Amino acid sequence: MANRREFLKSSCLACLGVAVSSSFLASCGTALPIFNVEKNGRQLFISLKEFEAQKTHVMVLRNSILDNDILLVKHPDGIFEALDLMCTHEGFNLTPTKDKIYCNQHGSVFDLYGHVLKEPALKPLKKFPLKQTDTQIIINLNT
């Protein structure tokens, strides 16, 4: 009887471990390229050539003056969006992957359009207005 009980106990613990670790692994995806961007007034400038050279559809933008990183996303239709990587639940920094954005503090999950996929966050991510020219993307931080 003790052997069966121990087997059931260890099996349940193993299942629990797999369930918990899989949720953490989901947010560990491949590291995204981080691009240190120049800030000019209230705008960020990103070269389209440099974005395309990364061969990715998502890039983390960083500047020492910004409170949070910004995720620049190129959607399948070719439209770019700039998302603030701050959770709308309690303001913690977010962890982006190539297909989702995670809050490791409370478990919120967002898609690459900034929509909430999993609570506790209720509001979508803040989007920065941007303009695309032939050579660059200009993100306006005045929001």
Question: pLDDT tens digits for 29-73?
Answer: 557 888 788 788 889 999 999 888 888 899 999 988 888 999 999
Determine the Cα–Cα distance for residues 57 and 62; give it in Å rounded to an integer: 17
The residue assigned the tokens 């929001």 is: 143
Dihedral (Cα; 84, 85, 89, 91), 10-degree rounding: -100
Per-residue pLDDT at 92: 83
Question: pLDDT tens digits for 117-131?
Answer: 999 999 999 999 999
Domain ranges of the chain: 1-30, 31-140
Contact 81, 69 (CB under 8 A): no
CATH class of the region 31-140? mainly beta
34-36 and 58-62: which strand pairing?
Answer: parallel
